[in-house]
Amino acid sequence: MRLPKTPSFRLDGRRAMVTGASRGIGLGCAVALAEAGAHVVMAARGADALDEAADTLRNAGLSAEALVLDVADLDAARGAMGASGPFDIFCNSAGLARHGPALDTTADDFDAVMAVNLRSAYFLAQEAARGMGDKGGSIIQISSQMGHVGGVDRAVYCASKHGLEGMTKAMAIEWGPRGIRVNTICPTFIRTPLTESTFADPERVAWITAKIKLGRVGEVEDIMGAVTYLASDASALVTGTSLVVDGGWTAG
């Protein structure tokens, strides 16, 4: 009798790029991929924080390098990707939020959020896919549970993430014959430097924990296993879908 063999979660010999990698979820994704054996190109806008993060990974014995870029500057970002690539894995964790009542949204707010959360996500995925050619690869977009539900004061953010979910499905269909898998990870509220103000509000924390069925907010570590899975051969038949890491928020 021949027993089935669990596919490997290892990423040895693969090159990965992670945007938004200097802190928070992006940093967690970079660490997870590097721990699995990938060489990780860590990209972000702020050179000092990025260099510190990349140095910390290297000091831990992981393979990483820093690449300063602004994902909203598409020409420069695509040029940097082309010069540093090609990549077997592309994880886009760069994101922007400008929360507030929908009646107060300005055109500048709308354009700024869409430029980062949707426009750059589209064209950087396109650049990653070009580099992958016909040898396949994994493109992972860090989306949000708000790509599946609505939220008060989050109309623009929800619009960008719902768009990201639709874009991912279409790209997965188109690029599937080339062996390129395209998926999203959809976290709930994760404790990061960007969410400090949210978690400083006891009423907001109470509302969040009441919505999360597991009764706690998310930590960066909760995302790390998900990104390793989607990057590896363990998810070889997974494409065009969302891995929702929300503690049951969207189930209710």
Q: Tell me, what amino acid is at 168?
A: T
Phi, psi of 140 (to 5 degrees): -125, 120
Asked whether residue 112 carries a pLDDT value surpassing 90, the answer given is yes
Residue at 61 is within a domain: yes
Please give the helix or strand (H or E) that residue 128 lies within, else none.
Answer: helix 121-132
CA-to-CA separations, 165 to 19, 22, 47, 162, 171, in angstroms, rounded: 18, 24, 30, 5, 10
What integer pLDDT is reported at residue 106 of this predicted model? Answer: 96
Supply angle C-alpha 238, 95, 232, rounded to 5.
25
Say if pTM beats, i.e. exceeds, 0.85.
yes
What integer pLDDT is reported at residue 66 of this predicted model? Answer: 97
Query: For this structure, is 157 an active site residue?
Result: yes
Whether omega for the bond prior to residue 86 falls within 30 degrees of 0, making it cis, is yes
- The CATH number assigned to the domain holding 129 equals 3.40.50.720
Chain segment 201-246, per-residue pLDDT in tens: 888 888 899 999 999 999 999 999 999 999 999 999 999 999 999 9
Catalytic residue among 157, 189, 229, 249: 157
Residue at 201 is within a domain: no
Residue at 2 is within a domain: no
Residue at 183 is within a domain: yes
Q: Are 53 and 76 in contact (CB under 8 A)?
A: no
Which of 80, 91, 87 is closest to 13 using CA atoms? 87
Tokens of 98: 């400008």
Number of separate domains in the chain: 1
Residue at 98 is within a domain: yes
Asked whether residue 195 carries a pLDDT value surpassing 90, the answer given is no
What integer pLDDT is reported at residue 151 of this predicted model? Answer: 87
What residues have CB less than 8 Å from 34, skipping those under 6 apart?
16, 40, 57, 62, 63, 64
How buried is residue 106: exposed, middle or buried, by Cβ count under 10 Å (0-12/13-18/19+)? exposed
Residue at 195 is within a domain: no
What integer pLDDT is reported at residue 136 of this predicted model? Answer: 97
Which of 37, 41, 35, 36 is closest to 16 using CA atoms? 41
Domain that holds residue 33: 15-190+218-251
- Name the DSSP letter for residue 17: E
Asked whether residue 139 carries a pLDDT value surpassing 90, the answer given is yes
Confidence band, pLDDT 50/70/90 cuts, at residue 194: confident
Residue at 54 is within a domain: yes
Residue at 209 is within a domain: no
Confidence band, pLDDT 50/70/90 cuts, at residue 199: confident
Measured between alpha carbons, how far is 195 from 25 in angstroms, rounded to an integer?
11
